[in-house]
Amino acid sequence: MKVLVATDKPFAKVAVDGIRKEIEAAGYELVLLEKYGEKAKLLEAVKDANAIIIRSDVIDAEVLDAAKELKIVVRAGAGYDNVDLEAATAHNVCVMNTPGQNSNAVAELAFGLMVMAVRNMYNGTSGTELKGKKLGIHAYGNVGRNVARIAKGVGMDIYAFDAFCPKEVIEKDGVKAVDSADELYATCNVVSLHIPATAETKNSINYALVNKMPKGGLLVNTARKEVINEAELIQLMEERPDLKYVTDIMPAANETFAAKFAGRYFSTPKKMGAQTAEANINAGIAAAQQIVGFLKDGCEKFRVNK
């Protein structure tokens, strides 16, 4: 059995070593394709792979067509919007993710971005503190929960909205559960986004919603760029010079944001929320173990396609 690790954004070496150990202990062969850049290289590498470990790498119908021996794809991470689930099902390929394994890393980066923004991008002027400010967590999944845990230590007043998570679950953590996204944005000085990119959420962070934020509002995005309605956010930030936007996922309109909103906009050059040795080890080894469990015992825990 051949297990391909196809990561355009590579894992830390220590994580690759851990993945290799798991795969070789099962008697399988590990093949590494890193920083491949062009899709053609991925199409070539998947030809004889029985299993693939990916990160944000795109697995679409073309890749699945090329991967004639493929049985399973594991997205080492949470969001699987980069995998065509319907095409995978049609190709009889199981798709899994590794929920929770990299969420602390992402949550810590959300705070890194927050501190940078409230300290005026470290430009030497007086900023503000996070303590005592109202934080809105938009979606209370694994990352949202870690954000809440950290925010408690920082002394923030924490609110959350999650359309799918029962209020009792949120409030058990000492977080105030609100009834709608509108209420969350209207209440909070800082909103941290943790929604997945789905048909329902794409472009949902729009003018009307963000405009509900109080004066000096800060929007932090460590989720997906697709959830932002970029044209509307640009229009709003033009009209409201008090708003700031910091993101770990470079917008399609990065140049426009950077040119128009110097000092109140920042994007990491490459998504790096999950770029820690710990997150790479946790997610990478979980992915390897899930592949072994699937191939040896048919275990389908964490399967995300039908």
How would DSSP label each residue in 194-218? -----TTTTT-B-HHHHTTSPTT-E
- Which residues are within 8 A (CB) of 246 and not within 5 positions of it... i.e. 6 or more apart? 113, 114, 116, 117, 218, 219, 220, 221, 265, 266, 267
Q: Hey, is 149 helix, strand or coil?
A: helix
Among 4, 33, 51, 102, binds ligand 3PG (CB under 6 A): 102
Q: Is 19 in the site for ligand 3PG (CB under 6 A)?
A: no
Q: Is 78 in the site for ligand 3PG (CB under 6 A)?
A: yes
Judged by CB under 6 A, the stretch of 12-20, 165-173, 186-194, 269-277 that binds ligand 3PG is 269-277
CB-wise, 187 or 201, nearer to ligand 3PG? 201
H or E element in which residue 146 lies: helix 142-154
Among 56, 201, 267, 282, binds ligand 3PG (CB under 6 A): 56
- Minimal distance, residue 154 CB to ligand 3PG, in Å: 22
Q: Is 194 in the site for ligand 3PG (CB under 6 A)?
A: no
Among 70, 274, 287, 291, binds ligand 3PG (CB under 6 A): 274
Nearest to 206 by CA among 180, 237, 162, 174: 237
Q: How many residues does the chain have?
A: 306
Angle between helices 103-118 and 277-297 (to 10 degrees): 150
User: The tokens 């949902």 sit on which residue?
Assistant: 204
CB-wise, 6 or 118, nearer to ligand 3PG? 6
CB-wise, 87 or 274, nearer to ligand 3PG? 274
Contacts with ligand 3PG by CB under 6 A lie at 9, 55-56, 77-79, 102, 271, 273-274
